Amino acid sequence: MKQWDFERFVTKSTVGDTFAYWLCLLRRDAELPAIEKLASAMSSQCDIEEQMSDPAGFAVIHPYTPDPLMPIAPVSVTKRWSPLPAAERSLGPCSKLKMEENDHLVFAYAVWTPTWIADTPEKNASSDQQHFQFLLTLASVAAATKGMDLMLAGRIGWSYETEQTGMNPEAAVAMLEFGYLFPDRIPR
């Protein structure tokens, strides 16, 4: 999946050097929405989830949560790194892969039916890569235990520096109560 590294997502309109990804459990028999609707749902999720203080609010951000998609963490942000190739190294070939691109945005998602993994990041992995591997392990265990698939979606992302302050504590508690497995966008 080398074709899905960070540079593959850069367009002539790209500003910044971050990649945003969304790791979710997916009901196994579910059909995902059209890719443009999924990209819009990810953007809505990122824009709104850190403002939530009531777990019930997560179910109304967009029509795909908690069914067929259940986020395991907030939309996460990395510096100049796409986690799609790392997911393929850990989980093997995906069962579904789609990409949409235009002059302003490249958005892609992949789906796996995981078995439990206990993989470690590559030697000399960055903190972003280590964080992703941590989330991927949590997600694959949850998916395998619940009989669900795993969806990873991504695009050039939002501000990494903004996320340095950490998640709003009320939103973090609401995320965990709603069913997220981890309540922060970047490694701490």
- Residue 124 located in a structural domain: yes
- The total of structural domains in the chain comes to 1
32-37 long-range contacts, Cβ below 8 Å, gap at least 24? 32/68, 32/96, 32/109, 32/111, 32/151, 33/64, 35/98, 35/99, 35/100, 35/107, 35/109, 36/100
Q: CB–CB of 113/140 below 8 Å?
A: no
- Classify the C-alpha dihedral 165-126-90-77 as positive or negative: positive
- Residue 137 located in a structural domain: yes
- pLDDT attached to residue 120: 67
C-alpha count within 13 angstroms, C-beta hemisphere, residue 98: 14
- Residue 184 located in a structural domain: no
Range of the domain at 169: 2-178
- Residue 90 located in a structural domain: yes
CA-nearest of 33, 12, 11 to 153 is 33
- pLDDT attached to residue 133: 92
- Residue 151 located in a structural domain: yes
- Residue 187 located in a structural domain: no
- pLDDT attached to residue 172: 93
Contacts of 157 (CB under 8 A, 6+ apart): 16, 18, 19, 20, 21, 75, 77, 78
- pLDDT attached to residue 55: 93
CA 183 vs CA 41, 105, 115: distances in Å? 18, 27, 23
Q: Which amino acid appears at position 164 of this protein? A: Q
First to last CA, the chain: 28
C-alpha count within 13 angstroms, C-beta hemisphere, residue 50: 15
- pLDDT attached to residue 118: 61
- Residue 156 located in a structural domain: yes
The pTM (predicted TM-score) of the whole model is: 0.92
Report mean pLDDT in 10-residue bins for the chain, 188 residues. 80 84 95 93 91 91 92 92 92 92 89 79 85 93 95 86 75 95 84
Regarding beta strands 96-101 and 69-71, do their DSSP bridges make them parallel or antiparallel, or are they unpaired? unpaired
- pLDDT attached to residue 157: 80
